[in-house]
A and B are shown apart, each in its own frame.
Chain A
Amino acid sequence: MTRSAAAIREDFRAIASLVRDGARVLDVGCGSGELLQLLRDEKGVDGRGLEISSEGVSACLAKGLAVIQGDADRDLADYPPMRFDYAILSQTLQATHAPKEVLTHLLRLAERAVVSFPNFAHWRVRANLMWRGRMPETRALPVAWYETPNIHLCTLRDFTDLCATLGVEIEASAALYANRPARPMNALGPFENWRAEAALFLLRKRG
């Protein structure tokens, strides 16, 4: 899925900081396994992955990671409930066919979900649409509309609304930028929906 090379490290660092040492982790859309490798090497997690491309799975296997070829929309249902401490969905939610179902599955198979996605209400996106009258192409959304895998883009506010609908508690959130460290934020704050280029959430099912 879409991960710009520059964004990887800060994004992954921020995710790693949310994950407890030695936890059981499922990385959904794990690509070639950089995040899982980071989590294994620095946090000692017991990590598993789900990845759509056979090239990605091969690369993961070469790193000694246990990864299954499959996709978030179809294959999350196969996992038994509460198998993991964390389910991670990094920059992938917007590319799924049924984000609501995917989110529901994440919090069925893991105690907590870590989800990041580009914020479609970021000022650059708004400016692009406003002044150029075209689908935005920004640092966080670098691919042209006709080639992008992103089919369900949302804003920070859309996402927090969905969490409320699903009874999902936001335990932590941070704003992500291409080359800068993540900045903790209050996702419901008045200006964050303008300021955050991408957002990272630590979620938990209420009750």
Chain B
Amino acid sequence: MSLVLDGLADGPARTLRLDAPLRLHSGQSLAGVEIAYCTYGTLNAERSNAVLICHALTGDQFVASTNPSTGRPGWWPTMVGEGKPLDPSRYFIICANILGGCMGSTGPGAIDARTGAPYGLSFPVITIADMARAQAELVTALGIDTLFLVVGGSMGGMIALEWVKCFPTRLFACALIATAARHSAQNIAFHEVGRQAIMADPDWRGGDYARLGVRPEKGLAVARMAAHITYLSEQALQRKFGRELQSEGLSFGFDADFQVESYLRHQGQAFVDRFDANSYLYITRAMDYFDLAESHGGRLADALTAAQDVRFCVLSFTSDWLYPTAESRRIVRALNAAGARASFVEIPSDKGHDAFLLDEPVMREVLEGFLASAAKERGL
């Protein structure tokens, strides 16, 4: 039996501590794993209305409630809440901070019980499959055998794909948004820029910064700035900022003359306040290692054949160049070949990869229709 720690009766936030060590993809095992999560709504008597939301790289478990450390509202307000497609009055909604994260789940910033100090780089390298396995432990601990839905955007979609591969009988439906079944060379390249920026910061101290009481803020901010560009489209950046200046005239120096520079600096700065540099290294590594078909000789359809009975909804956005439509189509093609019931829509949007987090009426409409019919089939 695993133990639920600090469960607040009146709030959505909980922490689960796993009794048994978690067996990792790498062959190592990790003891004392804690999973911080939020739940919204009530599990029905049949235990058939549970929805697992998988968050993206820098997301957290606070999908529909205020993040206590940043004070920011839930990160998916267009999809989760009263009257939204994922309504807590209908579904029991679970969102957990991923393994390796820094919002309460065990990651490189956690204290290693063996040394009494933060893990730092002694934390084992984890994979997307490990994240899914940790979530499966949570779902089991919550007394749920089969989830009604696993949904995720971006990295969350990759975790959802691991669910499909590793636990095909434990989910009824699956929604994959703006994601891919593997990281491309370009995806890996951008992540490597971010990791090098962090490791080049003198305050990173070989990953040991937490013990030494410093933080590689500059490196992490640069990593975020580079990544943030990949979340937006060229049109969106141009429309929002163009060549607009911060103030009258050029400074003929290296201050943030352009509004886009100032915006990116702000994004970087805001990020270091809420994110851990080593977590960023470990999570981006896990994403780079992700290739769902690798275990099946590169044949994606073979990795998905066990999920023939799962209903899939795959969504991409026209202006997403980070996980472009071609990657979603690759998933859909494999699902077709596997004989799964797959639906796919490419949503017109100029907002780039981040569109999945924003108010996209077509996305909402499509997911609403998909969920309504799946719920009916599930008898909800």
Residues of A within 8 A of B (CB): 48, 54, 57-70, 78-80, 83
Contacts and interface: CB of A to CB of B under 8 A. Distances in A.
Interface string B318-340: 00000000000100110011010
Contacts of B313: 61
A61 B370 CA distance: 5
Q: Is the interface of B mostly helix, strand, loop or mixed?
A: helix
A54 B336 contact: no
A155 to B, nearest CB: 34
A66 B342 CA distance: 6
Nearest to B337: A80
Q: Interface centre among B341, B368, B372, by most A CB within 10 Å?
A: B341
Q: Interface centre among B339, B341, B343, B373, by most A CB within 10 Å?
A: B343
Interface of B: 311-313, 329, 332-333, 336-337, 339, 341-348, 362, 365-366, 368-370, 372-374, 376-377
A151 B348 CA distance: 26
Given A64-B377, A68-B344, A58 B369 contact: yes
A57 B343 contact: yes
Contacts of A79: 336-337
Contacts of A63: 369, 373
B377 to A, nearest CB: 7
B344 A69 contact: yes
Contacts of B339: 83
Contacts of A61: 313, 343, 345, 366, 369-370, 373
A50 to B, nearest CB: 10
A192 B166 CA distance: 57
Contacts of A58: 345, 362, 365-366, 369
A48 to B, nearest CB: 7
Contacts of B329: 70, 78
A68 B336 contact: yes
A27 to B, nearest CB: 13
Contact of B362 (A54, A65, A67, A70): A54
B373 A62 contact: yes
A78 to B, nearest CB: 5
Nearest to A54: B345
B366 A57 contact: yes
Contacts of A59: 369
Contacts of B362: 54, 58
Given A54-B362, A64-B377, A78-B336, A69 B346 contact: yes
